[in-house]
């Protein structure tokens, strides 16, 4: 294996077809801190672009 090969292989399974970025998590945190998420309790939300979905 060459450097980066394992990362490319692992990332190839992401349904959205791109790597996670800081903004992906920041947007979730912003939503959860807003009034729009006022009725959400005790959840585990995965921000993985669909990797676990497959």
Residue 24 — very low, low, confident or very high, per pLDDT cuts 50/70/90?
Answer: very high
Average pLDDT over residues 4-22: 84
pLDDT at 43: 93
**50 pLDDT exceeds 90?**
no
Domains in the chain, start-ordered, CATH in brackets?
1-54 (1.10.8.400)
Report pLDDT for 41. Answer: 94
Residues 6+ apart with CB under 8 A from 4: none
Q: How far apart are CA 37 and CA 54, in angstroms?
A: 26
- Contacts by residues 5-12 (CB-CB < 8 Å, ≥ 24 positions apart): none
| pTM score | 0.71
């Amino acid at each position: 294996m060459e450097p980066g090969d394992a990362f490319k292989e692992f990332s190839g399974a992401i349904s959205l077809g791109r790597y996670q970025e800081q903004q992906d998590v920041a947007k979730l945190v912003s939503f959860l801190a807003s009034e729009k998420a006022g009725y959400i309790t005790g959840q585990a939300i995965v921000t993985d672009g669909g990797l676990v979905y497959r």
